[in-house]
Structure 1
Amino acid sequence: MLKTWDEMDQVQPMVGKLLKNSIQKDRLAHAYLFEGMRGIGKKEASYLLAKSLFCSSPIDNYIPCDACSNCKRITSGNHPDLHLLEPDGLSIKKKQIQNLQEEFSKTGVESRKKMYIIVHADRMTGNAANSLLKFLEEPHSETTAILLTEGAQQILPTILSRCQIIKFQPFSPTILIKKLGEHGIERTKAPIIAQLTNNLDEALELSHNDWFAQAQKIVLKLYEVLKKNPLEALVMLQEEWFLHFKEKEQFDQGLDLLLLLYKDLLYLQLEKSSQVVYVSEMTRLQQYALHVSGRQVADGLSWILEAKRKLQANMNPQLLMEELVLRLQEGSSFV
Structure 2
Amino acid sequence: METWKQLAAVQPVATKMMMNMINQERISHAYLFHGQKGTGKQAVSTLLAKSIFCTNKVGEEPCHTCKNCVRIASGNHPDVHHIIPDGASIKKDQILHLQKEFTYTGLESNRKVYIITDADKMTVNAANRLLKFLEEPSKQTTAILLTENVHGIINTIRSRCQIIALRPLDEKQMQLLLQRKGISELNARLFAALTHNLDEAEALDQDEWFAQARNLVVQLIDLLQFKSEEALLFIQKQWMPHFANREQLQLGLDLLVLWFKDMIYLHVGKEESLVYTSYKEKVEKSVMYWSKDDTTEVLYAMMEAKKKLEQNIHPTLLMEQLTLRMQR
Band the TM-score falls in, shorter-chain normalisation: 0.7 to 0.9
1:298 maps to: 292
1:233 maps to: 228
Q: 1:209 to 1:170 in 2, by over 3 A?
A: same
Q: 1:248 to 1:325 in 2, by over 3 A?
A: farther
- State the Cα distance separating 1:252 from its structure 2 match: 5.7
1:42 maps to: 41
Cα pair 1:38 1:201 within 8 Å, conserved? no
2:25, 2:233 → 1: CA distance? 65
Computing the radius of gyration from Cα coordinates, the structure with the larger value is 1
2:157, 2:208 → 1: CA distance? 43
Q: Secondary structure at the match of 2:33?
A: strand
- State the Cα distance separating 1:216 from its structure 2 match: 2.2
- State the Cα distance separating 1:163 from its structure 2 match: 1.1
| Residue 325 (1) aligns with residue 327 (2) | yes
2:106, 2:323 → 1: CA distance? 63
| Residue 28 (1) aligns with residue 27 (2) | yes
2:294, 2:45 → 1: CA distance? 45
Q: Read off the aligned partner of 1:277 and give its amino acid letter.
A: V
2:212 maps to: 214
2:134 maps to: 136
Deviation string, structure 1 residues 115-168 (Cα, Å, up to 9, x no partner) = 111122223333322221111111111211101122222323221221122222
Q: Secondary structure at the match of 1:189?
A: helix
Identity rate, percent: 43
Alignment gaps of 5+ in structure 1: 327-335
- State the Cα distance separating 1:253 from its structure 2 match: 4.5
Q: Read off the aligned partner of 1:289 and give its amino acid letter.
A: E
| Residue 99 (1) aligns with residue 97 (2) | yes
Q: When the two structures are superposed, what TM-score results if normalisation uses the length of structure 1?
A: 0.79
1:332 maps to: none
2:17 maps to: 18
1:65 maps to: 63
Deviation string, structure 1 residues 151-192 (Cα, Å, up to 9, x no partner) = 222323221221122222223223433554566655433322
- State the Cα distance separating 1:291 from its structure 2 match: 9.4
1:17, 1:78 → 2: CA distance? 28
1:167, 1:101 → 2: CA distance? 27
Cα pair 1:255 1:304 within 8 Å, conserved? no
Find 1:308's aligned residue among 288, 292, 302: 302
Q: Read off the aligned partner of 1:176 and give its amino acid letter.
A: M
Cα pair 1:252 1:308 within 8 Å, conserved? no
Q: Read off the aligned partner of 1:54 and give its amino acid letter.
A: F
Find 1:289's aligned residue among 284, 287, 290: 284
1:6 maps to: 5
- State the Cα distance separating 1:45 from its structure 2 match: 0.9
Alignment gaps of 5+ in structure 2: none
Cα pair 1:245 1:251 within 8 Å, conserved? no
2:56, 2:79 → 1: CA distance? 17
Q: When the two structures are superposed, what TM-score results if normalisation uses the length of structure 2?
A: 0.80
Cα pair 2:37 2:196 within 8 Å, conserved? no
1:56, 1:305 → 2: CA distance? 55
Q: 1:275 to 1:117 in 2, by over 3 A?
A: same
RMSD value, Cα: 3.3
Q: 1:117 to 1:309 in 2, by over 3 A?
A: closer
1:57, 1:296 → 2: CA distance? 62
Q: 1:207 to 1:101 in 2, by over 3 A?
A: same
Q: Read off the aligned partner of 2:33 and give its amino acid letter.
A: F
2:225, 2:93 → 1: CA distance? 64
Q: 1:323 to 1:77 in 2, by over 3 A?
A: closer
2:247, 2:293 → 1: CA distance? 24
2:168 maps to: 170
2:44, 2:326 → 1: CA distance? 45
Cα pair 1:234 1:322 within 8 Å, conserved? no
1:3, 1:212 → 2: CA distance? 28
Q: Read off the aligned partner of 1:37 and give its amino acid letter.
A: Q
Q: 1:109 to 1:253 in 2, by over 3 A?
A: closer
